[in-house]
């Protein structure tokens, strides 16, 4: 049998940690490099610094099996060992952040400085005349980045053989471990041009070995041109963004036309050309990927003088949607001086991530409109608090911000409650109990997680995105 693959995963963020631990589960020997000392110490002591179902167990069992290790930098890994040490080619994955560039003139574009720094570190510590290194970008990087990295490395280390590949991830937070081990496809972009064919062949073999346990189960392993893999990742995320933004606008029209957006989405989704997923209208998409990847795609295409109007429209529609949540509420009730319970601060249920979460937009808007807020989330409270603190709000606003340790505390005395992430605890709460706790009777459901009929019976007025109130006759409720 072949030797176990040696995998170095640079970055123990969300993507690197999940991918590294899951590759160990597939049989590779994995070292995850994390430069943040606090995060590294936590990982070494068995603490998982993010909320991801199944990740804690996976990391613990792979460490116990001696397949998963953590290092502070590349020099601490076996990479700097003398040439000839490696029995199989080594795979180095870059899973460092590619945040949105904020420099003037480059807004929206992906900031590649962490990727470049990792490449430079690799170049500086490989021993003289090393064996082949297979580099893979896991981070989402603009098309052409692989070629640019290969040129950069060649200039630094002409003696060191390197093949730069692209292996994008398609992990959704909250189900990332499951997604990694049960993917729809595995995408590997390989270089053409003047890369020696033997290097490309070695990369192909290494990937085939790495992912063999999944391929045996029938998962398609797609080898494409490197540029295709890079672009496919962005195109996939942008397409998902378009679906969501599109349904948001249809939902708005539903509210004014008597249609119900769930019925419309269901009817649309039965057409296999459309598909049933990602048609749920909500408060706008957030998270670490879609809001950043769509403008990055648009910006990188603009460099080739290509205007991507459809993704750009989705991006603008989504920004407007998140910014307009407070305005929707203000059309229904007076907000100044009111106490509003904001339920679900994560960008979606199932994660503690609040990056680009619609709840943060709504919270700042409601504070500026003079409301008091009681904020609750079963997992994301600490992250939401840190994100709000970073906004440095004026004291007359921040003093109206209350962090509710329980759902009951959030609802107590509230004039209105707003559901922004569909955590089960919000769906499960008994309407009569809500009515006892709350002062007012306005409910805003931006996820359609609440059942209209029981809430109406308890005396509430429900404003659900994509449904006009008067269009939910009670005979329909019983069928829902």
Residues contributing to the site for ligand UDX (CB under 6 A): 169-173, 237, 240, 244, 278-280, 282, 285-287, 289-290, 347-348
Is 336 annotated as ligand-binding? no
CA 14 to chain CA mean position, Å: 9
- Residue 225 φ then ψ, to 5°: -60, 150
How near is the Cβ of 319 to ligand UDX at its closest, in Å? 13
How near is the Cβ of 451 to ligand UDX at its closest, in Å? 19
- Residue 187 φ then ψ, to 5°: -115, 125
Is 87 annotated as ligand-binding? no
Tell me if residue 425 is catalytic.
no
The radius of gyration of the chain's CA atoms, rounded to the nearest angstrom, is 25
User: Which residues neighbour 193 within 8 Å (Cβ) at sequence distance 6 or greater?
Assistant: 147
Q: Which C-beta is closer to ligand UDX: that of 15 or that of 71?
A: 15
Q: Which C-beta is closer to ligand UDX: that of 287 or that of 311?
A: 287
For tokens 């990937």, the residue is 207
Residue from 254, 289, 425, 476 carrying the catalytic annotation: 289
413: left (phi over 0), alpha (psi -120 to 50) or beta: left
Is 281 annotated as ligand-binding? yes
Confirm if 315 and 285 have CB atoms less than 8 A apart: no
Q: Quote the tokens at residue 4.
A: 């176990």
Is 279 annotated as ligand-binding? yes
How near is the Cβ of 6 to ligand UDX at its closest, in Å? 26
Q: Which C-beta is closer to ligand UDX: that of 83 or that of 222?
A: 222
Is 282 annotated as ligand-binding? yes
Is 204 annotated as ligand-binding? no
**Degrees to nearest 5, angle at CA 127 with 122 and 130:** 90
Q: What span, in angstroms and rounded, lies between the C-alpha atoms of 427 and 445?
A: 11
Start-to-end C-alpha separation, the chain: 55
Q: Quote the tokens at residue 330.
A: 């203000």
Q: What span, in angstroms and rounded, lies between the C-alpha atoms of 68 and 272?
A: 41
How near is the Cβ of 99 to ligand UDX at its closest, in Å? 14
How near is the Cβ of 476 to ligand UDX at its closest, in Å? 22
Q: Which C-beta is closer to ligand UDX: that of 284 or that of 452?
A: 284
Q: Which C-beta is closer to ligand UDX: that of 209 or that of 357?
A: 357
By annotation, the residues acting in catalysis are 289
- Residues flagged as binding site: 39, 98, 140, 170-173, 233, 278-282, 286, 292, 348, 355
Residue numbering of the annotated binding site for substrate? 170-173, 233, 278-282, 286, 348
């Amino acid at each position: 049998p072949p030797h176990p693959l040696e995998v170095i995963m640079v970055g123990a963020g969300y993507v690197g940690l999940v991918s590294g631990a899951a590759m160990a589960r597939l049989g590779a020997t994995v070292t995850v490099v994390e430069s943040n000392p606090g995060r590294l110490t936590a990982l070494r002591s068995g603490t998982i610094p993010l909320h991801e179902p199944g990740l804690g167990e996976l990391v613990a069992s792979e460490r116990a099996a001696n397949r998963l290790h953590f290092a502070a930098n590349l020099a601490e890994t076996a990479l700097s060992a003398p040439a000839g040490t490696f029995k199989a080619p080594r795979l180095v994955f870059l899973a460092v952040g590619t945040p949105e560039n904020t420099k003037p003139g480059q807004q929206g574009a992906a900031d590649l400085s962490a990727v470049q720094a990792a490449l430079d570190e690799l170049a500086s510590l490989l021993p003289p005349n090393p064996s082949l290194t297979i580099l893979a970008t896991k981070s989402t990087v603009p098309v052409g980045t692989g070629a640019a990295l290969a040129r950069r490395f060649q200039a630094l280390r002409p003696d060191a053989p390197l093949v730069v590949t692209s292996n994008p991830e398609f992990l959704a937070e909250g189900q990332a471990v499951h997604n990694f081990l049960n993917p729809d496809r595995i995408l590997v972009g390989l270089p053409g041009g003047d890369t020696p064919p033997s290097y490309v062949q070695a990369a192909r073999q290494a990937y085939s070995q790495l992912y063999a346990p999944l391929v045996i189960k029938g998962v398609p392993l797609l080898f494409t041109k490197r540029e295709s893999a890079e672009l496919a990742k962005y195109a996939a995320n942008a397409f998902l963004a378009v679906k969501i933004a599109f349904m948001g606008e249809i939902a708005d029209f539903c509210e004014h036309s008597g249609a119900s957006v769930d019925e419309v989405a269901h009817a649309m989704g039965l057409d296999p050309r459309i598909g049933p997923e990602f048609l749920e209208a909500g408060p706008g998409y957030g998270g670490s990927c879609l809001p950043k990847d769509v403008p990055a795609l648009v910006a990188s295409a603009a460099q080739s003088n290509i205007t991507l109007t459809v993704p750009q429209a989705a991006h603008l529609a989504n920004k407007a949607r998140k910014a307009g949540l407070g305005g929707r509420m203000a059309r229904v009730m007076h907000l100044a001086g009111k106490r509003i319970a904001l339920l679900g601060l994560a960008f979606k249920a199932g994660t503690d991530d609040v990056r680009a979460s619609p709840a943060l937009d709504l919270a700042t808007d409601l504070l500026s409109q003079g409301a008091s807020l009681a904020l609750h989330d079963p997992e994301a409270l600490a992250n939401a608090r840190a994100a709000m603190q970073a906004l440095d709000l004026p004291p007359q606003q921040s003093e109206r911000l209350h962090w509710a340790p329980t759902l009951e505390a959030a609802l107590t005395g509230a004039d209105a409650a707003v559901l922004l992430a569909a955590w089960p605890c919000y769906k499960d709460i008994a309407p009569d109990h809500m009515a006892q706790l709350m002062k007012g009777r306005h409910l805003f459901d931006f996820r359609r997680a609440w059942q209209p009929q029981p809430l109406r019976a308890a005396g509430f007025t429900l404003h659900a995105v994509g449904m006009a109130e008067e269009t939910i006759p009670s005979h329909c409720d019983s069928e829902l």
